[in-house]
Amino acid sequence: MRKYVIMGVQGSGKGTQSAMLANDFDLVHIAVGDIFRWNVLHHTKLGAQVRRTMAAGELVSDDLAEGVVKDRLTQHDWNYGFIIDGFPRNERQAEFFLESYDIDGVIYLDLPDSEVRRRVLARRLCSGCGMDYNLIDSSPREEGRCDVCGARLIQREDDTEEALAVRLREYHTKTNPVLDIFRRKEYVVTVDARADKDDVQAAIRKALQLPPYDG
Ligand code: AMP
């Protein structure tokens, strides 16, 4: 059983790297932001509760975020383990998490803010299946259309200059202390996230002493 948390600023590749790990090691990938976005898209009660906060780039309440993680983990479909992406985001969530679950490692994807801006503003999302694109290095074959399902590509509501500025501020003030908590427990491996996605994946596996990545 392997249990990981992946952390890093917006656009550092958490979703991509988690999916690559989850795929090869049969881990359940729990992306808290994706769960919230799914709820917004499907007009659920939870979606209505978080929509405005998310669009502004602010963190939603700890109770809601903790509830999502708890609900997901109580499904117990993670026989080989899990990788959590987007949680914990502040000290309270970190304490909740450490009291409730044990983990094997925390992957920290390190990316300078200047690169974050460039990546996030180029990010696109399929309105049908949720597939991620980036106009810098993973453009769709047909402009504005998903390669997988053909639906329209959209920009995330919070991938704007204004919301990004708020999210970066939130990140540095609230999420950095979480890293310090995990560092004190010697869980953290830091990986330079500027490299291309295969090299970042290879570096993660090396740092976690997992079987090497062979593309
Ligand atoms: P992400 O996809 O991880 O960038 O998350 C998108 C948005 O979802 C964030 O800007 C927050 O509004 C909300 N969100 C995701 N995870 C959390 C969390 N752990 N705590 C509070 N809000 C969260």
Pocket mutation for ligand 1, best pick of 6, 60, 83 (most atoms within 8 Å of C-beta): 60
Instruction: Name the H helices within the chain.
Output: 14-25, 32-41, 45-55, 62-73, 91-100, 113-121, 161-170, 176-184, 197-207
- Pairing mode, strands 105-110 and 2-8: parallel
Residue 36, ligand 1, Cβ within 6 A: yes
How remote is the CA of residue 38 from the centroid of ligand 1, in Å? 12
Q: Which residues contact 50 (CB under 8 A, 6 or more apart)?
A: 36, 39, 40, 60, 64
Alpha-carbon distance of 12 to 188, in angstroms, equals 16
Q: Which tokens belong to 1?
A: 């059983």
- Read off the DSSP letter of residue 13: S
Residue type, 138: S
**Residue 124 appears among annotated catalytic residues:** no
Q: What rounded mean pLDDT belongs to the chain?
A: 93
- Ligand 1 closest atom vs CA 57: 10
Q: Among 92, 156, 174, 194, which one carries the catalytic annotation? A: 156
Q: List, for residues 67-110, the tens digit of each pLDDT value.
A: 999 999 998 889 999 999 999 999 999 999 999 898 999 999 99
Q: Which of 46, 45, 195 is nearest to 119 (CA)?
A: 195
pLDDT band at 136 (very low <50, low <70, confident <90, very high): confident
How remote is the CA of residue 211 from the centroid of ligand 1, in Å? 31
Reduced DSSP (H G I as helix, E B as strand, rest coil) percent helix, strand, coil of the chain, to 5: 45, 20, 35
- Read off the DSSP letter of residue 151: P
**Residue 45 appears among annotated catalytic residues:** no
Going from the C-alpha of 112 to that of each of 5, 116, 137, 141, the distances in angstroms are 20, 6, 18, 29
What 191-195 contacts at long range (C-beta under 8 Å, 24+ apart), as own/partner pairs, is 191/107, 191/108, 191/109, 191/110, 192/110, 193/8, 193/12, 193/13, 193/109, 193/110, 193/111, 194/111, 194/112, 194/115
Mean pLDDT for the stretch of residues 150-176: 91
Q: List, for residues 41-73, the tens digit of each pLDDT value.
A: 999 999 999 999 999 988 999 999 999 999 999
Cβ–Cβ under 8 Å, residues 164 and 10: yes
pLDDT band at 157 (very low <50, low <70, confident <90, very high): confident
Residue 96, ligand 1, Cβ within 6 A: no
pTM for this one? 0.86
- pLDDT of 145 > 90? The answer is yes
- Return the SS3 of 166: helix
> Which pLDDT does position 57 carry in this prediction?
87
